[in-house]
Amino acid sequence: MAAILSTYAGIFGLVKLKGAMSAKKPIPAVAVAAAAPVATGATSKWGFEPPTLETFDAWSENEENWNKWEAFMSGPLLDKWCDTLG
């Protein structure tokens, strides 16, 4: 029984060693520039420029957009917006 376990352990060790010796070097990450605020040029009456499906990725990378979103969600403008829905 011990011979079988040591054989399996030896094979496992050789596979791990081969994998470590032939591992590819990691590709260095490219530095990404900070995202600019997404704006269409018009000031929204809600205090922020809402993202669209096309601009959401760039919009979400900017911290200022999220701060304006949080202010909208916690302020009285949310109630005014809800009144316009119905």
- Please indicate, yes or no, if residue 81 is contained in any of the structural domains: yes
- Please indicate, yes or no, if residue 72 is contained in any of the structural domains: yes
Phi, psi of 18 (to 5 degrees): -65, -40
Q: Which of 22, 25, 3 is nearest to 14 (CA)?
A: 22
CA–CA gap between residue 56 and residue 71 (Å, rounded)? 18
Count of domains forming the chain: 1
- Please indicate, yes or no, if residue 22 is contained in any of the structural domains: no
CA–CA gap between residue 33 and residue 31 (Å, rounded)? 7
- Please indicate, yes or no, if residue 86 is contained in any of the structural domains: yes
- Residuewise pLDDT in 10s, the chain (86 residues): 888 888 988 898 888 888 777 767 777 777 765 555 555 445 567 677 778 888 888 888 888 888 888 888 887 877 787 788 76
Residue 34: its pLDDT value, please?
56
- Please indicate, yes or no, if residue 3 is contained in any of the structural domains: no
- Domain range enclosing 43: 37-86
